[in-house]
């Protein structure tokens, strides 16, 4: 059996990476102790760079996704979850098994899979995200409903469902239903879904995933299984399975493979039965880095300086689903140290951050944003995060907190950073108080990333960009190359995979503060902010399009 080189942690591979310039001194001392997956997840090098280097270092062939996607998987009786965690994808080639591995230095799982396949399987190297894509593609080819599940609710049991809570509980806790929900959650995590929609229709139960902001069909089940599947979701979220007439909301914590996630579950009655929506919130510290959410270095510097202010208000604006909560969680994780007391008031709590005191709003018992905020001012906080300023009372208390020496982070639903000033004024906050307390506003949107494997230079995109730049007076860099979506196996033929933020960071000082105090007009505020160096979301989107990150069509769709 061929020997596998020593693990990354022995230092040899790290030296190899440094010699080739893939790692540099800026990577930090932690890189010397990291394994291959940690290096990839930390973003110090791309998956392709690491895979190319690993193949050369271990003397193995570097395989491509296009090649492997044509090969049938060789899972046999192996656990797919184990294979995914080990980043090993077995496939058949010319009647023999071959292992596509992301980290050849993982001796034990490689040897275990070789042993299970009953022979000495050849190794080829792929990237970690290519392993994910291969499993995602293999999963899509499985039958939608397992044989035992297809029969799970037939006959007398189906009749009993409408009348017997006990029968419903038994069926919901049965192995076929439990396995179905587990597999649904696993597929959602593999696809990078943010939401799972489980919808009871007239003839069937339909499951759809929201991926990159768009709903994507997953699978359908026979109508008679709907009560059992919805009941299993209720059990996960500790909800009342006997209540089918009223909406219910709950939470659950799940672990799928090596990923941990919180689920926000919402159940609602509809014409043909109940429907459920599961919001997936990954407990992943990689989300809490400004660079990873797409912020440019210039906007990062402005935003970091705003949250380092000793007091005042910092607002993050954008529509629902634009990533505001992730940005605030990132800010709090950056501020979180033993010298500060940080308190949050949220509805709901989406990211659970150790060392931060987080409170869930419960309006039914009188614990509103305003009531919680008023109470927490007596708890000697340094930083207060208010999930959303929804009314004048909350805004007024937030202003008073900022005036009395606290840093207040919050969100508003506005279209631009400049509109946040007008929104506060509309809530009844006096302009002189806004000018005195507002330190800055971050506006943001999420746009879809172009698929790295199939994007192509597009003259039509370049024409759109040139027309926009000429109309708005934006600067175009001659080196920019504009790309358009094509579609391939890797991106599900959409042309896009993943999302990235576009931002505008507006610092409130000098002339801008004077104007807010005397004449808060959004157009004038925008002009002054841009004259002071602010890059608008549209300009940021133009730049990201020019760098091939997204398309102009996507930027214009998102910004309007």
Nearest Cα to Cα of residue 326 among 288, 297, 358 = 288
Handedness of CA 431, 436, 437, 438 (dihedral sign): positive
Handedness of CA 423, 429, 433, 437 (dihedral sign): negative
Residue 278's pLDDT is 95
For residue 38, give the H/E element and its range.
Answer: helix 36-42
Residue 277's pLDDT is 96
pLDDT digits (tens, 9 = 90+) for 67-109: 888 888 888 777 777 888 888 899 888 888 899 999 988 888 8
In the Cβ-directed half-sphere of 379, how many Cα atoms lie within 13 Å?
Answer: 15
Whole-angstrom CA distances from 548 to 77, 94, 413, 448, 483 are 42, 38, 29, 12, 6
pLDDT digits (tens, 9 = 90+) for 200-228: 998 899 999 998 888 888 888 888 889 88
Give me the residue label for tokens 């159940």: 267
8 Å CB contact between 507 and 302: yes
Nearest Cα to Cα of residue 262 among 281, 287, 285, 237 = 281
Alpha helices in 478-559 (DSSP H): 510-518, 522-531, 537-546, 552-559
Nearest Cα to Cα of residue 132 among 55, 211, 182, 192 = 192
Residue 24's pLDDT is 64
Q: Please give the torsion angle defined by the CA atoms of residues 174, 254, 101 and 96, in that order, rounded to the nearest 10 degrees.
A: 10
Distance of alpha carbon 22 from alpha carbon 33, whole angstroms: 16
Per-domain residue ranges of the chain: 13-139, 174-282, 290-448+498-534
Q: What CATH class does 290-448+498-534 carry?
A: alpha beta
Nearest Cα to Cα of residue 113 among 102, 101, 125 = 101
Best CATH choice for the domain 174-282 from the list 3.20.20.70, 3.40.190.80, 3.40.50.300, 3.30.450.90: 3.30.450.90
8 Å CB contact between 80 and 90: no
8 Å CB contact between 372 and 366: no
8 Å CB contact between 187 and 218: yes
8 Å CB contact between 187 and 142: no
List beta partners, residue 499.
448
Q: Which residues of the chain have pLDDT under 50?
A: 1-10, 26-30, 141-147, 153-163
Eight-class DSSP state of 362: B
The angle, 0 to 180 degrees and rounded to 10, between the axes of the packed helices 510-518 and 522-531 is: 170
Alpha helices in 69-208 (DSSP H): 80-86, 107-116, 128-140, 147-150, 156-161, 165-172, 175-191
Which two structure tokens, joined as six digits, stand for 484? 């358009």
List beta partners, residue 275.
268
The three-class DSSP label of residue 143 is coil
Which two structure tokens, joined as six digits, stand for 339? 């010298």
Eight-class DSSP state of 535: P
List beta partners, residue 259.
256
8 Å CB contact between 410 and 310: no
Domain 13-139, what fold? Answer: GMP Synthetase; Chain A, domain 3 (3.30.300)
498: left (phi over 0), alpha (psi -120 to 50) or beta: left
The per-residue DSSP string of 342-396 comes to EEEEESS--S--TTSEEEE-BGGGTB-HHHHHHHHGGG--SEEEES---SHHHHH
Eight-class DSSP state of 103: -
Eight-class DSSP state of 441: E
């Amino acid at each position: 059996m061929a020997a596998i080189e020593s693990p990354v942690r022995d230092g040899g591979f790290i030296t190899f990476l440094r010699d080739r310039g893939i790692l540099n001194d800026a990577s930090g001392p932690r890189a010397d102790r990291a394994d291959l997956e940690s290096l990839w997840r930390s973003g110090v090098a791309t998956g392709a760079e690491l895979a190319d280097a690993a193949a050369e270092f271990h003397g193995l062939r570097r395989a491509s996704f296009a090649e492997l996607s044509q090969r049938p998987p060789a899972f046999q009786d192996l656990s797919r979850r184990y294979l995914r965690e080990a980043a090993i994808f077995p496939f058949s080639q010319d009647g023999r098994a071959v292992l596509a591995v992301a980290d050849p230095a993982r001796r034990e799982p490689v040897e275990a899979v070789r042993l299970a396949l009953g022979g000495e399987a050849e190794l080829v190297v792929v990237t970690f995200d290519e392993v994910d894509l291969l499993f995602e593609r293999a999963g899509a080819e499985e039958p939608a409903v397992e044989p035992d599940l297809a029969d799970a609710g037939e006959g007398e049991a189906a009749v009993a469902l409408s009348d017997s809570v006990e029968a419903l509980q038994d069926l919901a806790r049965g192995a076929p239903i439990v396995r179905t929900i587990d597999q649904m959650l696993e597929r959602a995590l593999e696809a990078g879904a943010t939401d799972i929609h489980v919808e009871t229709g007239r003839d069937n139960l339909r499951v759809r995933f929201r991926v990159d902001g768009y709903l994507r069909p997953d699978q359908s089940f026979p109508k008679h299984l709907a009560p059992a599947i919805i009941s299993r979701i209720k059990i996960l979220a500790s909800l009342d399975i006997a209540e089918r007439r009223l909406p219910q909301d709950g939470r659950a914590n799940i672990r799928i493979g090596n990923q941990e996630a919180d689920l926000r579950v919402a159940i609602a009655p509809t014409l043909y039965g109940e429907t459920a929506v599961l919001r997936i919130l990954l407990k992943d510290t990689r989300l809490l880095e400004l660079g990873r959410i797409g912020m440019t270095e210039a906007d990062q510097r402005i935003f970091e300086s705003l949250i380092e202010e000793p007091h005042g208000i910092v607002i993050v604006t954008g529509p629902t689903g634009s990533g505001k909560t992730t940005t605030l969680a990132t800010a709090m994780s950056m501020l979180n140290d033993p010298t500060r007391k940080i308190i949050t008031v949220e509805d709901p709590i989406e990211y659970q951050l150790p060392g931060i005191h987080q409170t869930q709003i419960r309006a039914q018992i009188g614990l509103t944003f305003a009531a919680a905020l008023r109470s927490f001012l007596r708890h000697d906080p340094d930083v207060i995060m208010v999930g959303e300023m929804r009314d004048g009372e909350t805004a007024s208390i937030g202003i008073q907190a900022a005036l009395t020496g606290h840093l207040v982070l919050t969100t508003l639903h506005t279209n631009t950073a400049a509109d946040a000033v007008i929104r506060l004024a509309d809530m009844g906050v006096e302009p002189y108080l806004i000018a005195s307390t507002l330190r800055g506003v971050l506006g943001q949107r999420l746009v879809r990333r172009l698929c790295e494997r199939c994007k192509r230079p597009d003259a039509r995109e370049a024409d759109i960009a040139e027309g926009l730049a000429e109309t708005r007076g934006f600067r175009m860099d001659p080196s920019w190359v504009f790309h358009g979506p094509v579609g391939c196996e890797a991106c599900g033929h959409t042309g896009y995979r993943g999302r990235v933020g576009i931002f505008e960071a507006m610092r409130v000082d000098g002339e801008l503060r004077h104007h807010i105090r005397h004449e808060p007009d959004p157009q004038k505020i925008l002009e002054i902010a841009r004259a002071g160096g602010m890059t608008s979301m549209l300009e940021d989107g133009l730049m990201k399009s020019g760098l091939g990150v997204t398309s102009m069509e996507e930027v214009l769709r998102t910004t309007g």
